């Protein structure tokens, strides 16, 4: 029972992170493709090309979706 609970908690946490990544990607869609955008890493903001950020976030989303358990 404990393992099932842990798996469900992990699934809920991953669902939340996946939702945040999807929102981030939809917000980045409103930015012009060649525009530089701020990204936060370790409490510091960096300027980076929008396309690079989108690619990074898409890869992160794919990784999290692979880790997601199939049951709810």
Q: What would you measure as the largest C-alpha separation in the chain, in angstroms?
A: 50
Task: Give the pLDDT confidence of 20-53 residue by residue, as tens digits.
Answer: 999 999 999 999 988 999 999 899 999 999 999 9
Residue 71 has pLDDT above 60, yes or no: no
Q: Which of 29, 20, 3, 1 minimizes the C-alpha distance to 64?
A: 20
C-beta separation of 64 from 17 below 8 A: yes
CA 70 to each of CA 25, 30, 48, 62: distance values in angstroms, whole numbers, following the listed order: 23, 32, 35, 15
DSSP 56: H
What residue ranges define each of the domains in the chain, with the CATH number in brackets? 2-67 (1.10.287.370)
């Amino acid at each position: 029972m404990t393992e099932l609970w842990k798996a469900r908690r992990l699934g809920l946490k991953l669902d939340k992170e996946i939702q945040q990544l999807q929102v981030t990607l939809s917000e980045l869609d409103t930015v012009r493709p060649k525009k530089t955008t701020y990204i936060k890493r370790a409490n510091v903001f960096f300027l980076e090309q929008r396309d690079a950020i989108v690619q990074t976030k898409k890869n992160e989303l794919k990784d999290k979706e692979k880790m997601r358990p199939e049951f709810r």
